[in-house]
Amino acid sequence: MMGARGLLTVAAAALVSLGLTAAPAKAAGNAVELPSQNWSFAGIFGTFDRGELQRGFQVYKEVCAGCHSLDYIAFRNLADLGFNELEIKAIAAEYEVQDGPNDDGEMFDRPGLPADRFPAPFANDNAARASNGGALPPDLSLMVDARPNGANYLYALMTGYGDAPSGVTVAEGMSYNAYFPGHQIAMPAPIADDGVEYADGTKATVDQQARDITAFLTWAAEPNLEERKRMGVMAVLFLLVMTGLLYASKRKIWADVH
């Protein structure tokens, strides 16, 4: 029979599965308060909005992919976003993927296949730095998990660009961002109103694009989020049933003891 410590361990695991652990409310590395957003994937029963995910993927592909890799995502994973097999094959074929060696011992490029991962935009880190003024654009696969309060942080970062306050000097080649640690960031504002033309006709405001790319990168960091929450709910229900059974058993066993 599971003891109290075992039940507490299972309960703790269930809470983690449900995403009920505390999250810092401040930006990484400083004390800037982040505006809290209402996300469809938040909470115990939160789920991803497939339309939001597909729009976010479009923003990544048209805006972010030129500098930022998505190393841990394969094209076939896009099925989670609602794309069908033919659409995934067509998306993969838009990319050139290095393969080989061939019979002559040489590497070669070919169109992407659903099983391939998204190719990096640069051959190596040095090439990436050379193309970005010395700054290394980070991989975005796990970005949401890599930052405290990740979804709110990314949204704030995307919408936090603006003019520096009076008395603040921004270094050459840097941009002012209210939510980036130190407030100076090497990446210029990546999104602007009507920066993309959404396939579903949604108006591409800065706010909309920021929400969509944040949702997409949240999915990229944890594609199994919905399944994890389902398992967490099942674990909590199991604990409730077990608690009831244990209590009933105790009452039955000790009913004749006075």
162-193 confidence digits (pLDDT tens): 999 999 999 999 999 999 999 999 999 999 99
Contacts of 126 (CB under 8 A, 6+ apart): none
Contacts of 54 (CB under 8 A, 6+ apart): 81, 82, 83, 199, 200
User: Is 43 inside any structural domain?
Assistant: yes
Domain hosting residue 26, numbered range: 4-73+118-253
User: Is 239 inside any structural domain?
Assistant: yes
Total Cβ atoms within 10 A of residue 177: 24
User: Is 88 inside any structural domain?
Assistant: no
| CATH code (residue 220) | 1.10.760.10
Contact 101, 234 (CB under 8 A): no
- pLDDT, position 247: 79
Q: Whole-prediction pTM value? A: 0.80
**Environment class of 103 (CB within 10 Å of its CB; exposed 0-12, middle 13-18, buried 19+):** exposed
Q: How many domains does the chain have?
A: 1
More confident residue, 66 or 253: 66
User: Is 165 inside any structural domain?
Assistant: yes
Q: Give mean pLDDT, residues 193-205.
A: 96
More confident residue, 25 or 157: 157
Instruction: Tell me the per-residue pLDDT of 220-243, one tens digit each, with 9 for 90 and over.
Output: 999 987 788 777 767 777 788 888
Q: What pLDDT band is residue 97 in, cutting at 50, 70 and 90? A: very high
